[in-house]
Structure 1
């Protein structure tokens, strides 16, 4: 069923092909803005990098987190898990086939995002192994600052 305001405030990324007529891009942008979307125009390569970081990587991480946490004591973990675990793994309930295809289609950009994620995770692990409270807190604070946009 149709829902009024479905696209109000939602991001919409346009990736016009090289040589696309400016008038066609403007009309497409106006259509989306007309239903309330926040439109950004960008090159397909930038779109792929951004979506790898903010969509595809979180799905891969959610699937990995769910498997790592639940593979040994799944029943107890499911019974005891709080909102943090449920929030972090909610998207792992998505279609594995859909996300397999998305990940493979954007493989190169996703691999670059995974490299950045693994480097951050390794640095946090090193701080934890060294029992370096200051370094661990600094990693957490740096991520929080990035989220807040400071």
Structure 2
């Protein structure tokens, strides 16, 4: 692997290659979680993450704009996401009193129940995927992935 000096003189692997490994692993974990959530709770990963964000909000509601940013969607996709969640009974829409154009996603009791019921099994599933990486993702080189994660972490450190 090509090594290059960092600004502080340390040698780093090619950052794009390192990032590609981390991104591929993240995508594989997300795909696995998405299938597991769909099979177990009939909700997708993005839907579950959205419900979790709304559930943790102070008033149990988030502007759709804010929700879009938190789950990594554009405004249009977030609006469709809220529509799907509303159709399933997990959220309801509410208009912003100060700005009639602002729309909030407000979690329902059914949505809260789903987040509550799925939270521990979801955390256990993530832990299983991360601690048994070679079992769940046999095509990934676990030691190489560990190095890639440490290298990316070193770039993030202040």
Q: Which TM class, normalised by the smaller chain length?
A: under 0.3
More strand by share: 2
More helix by share: 1
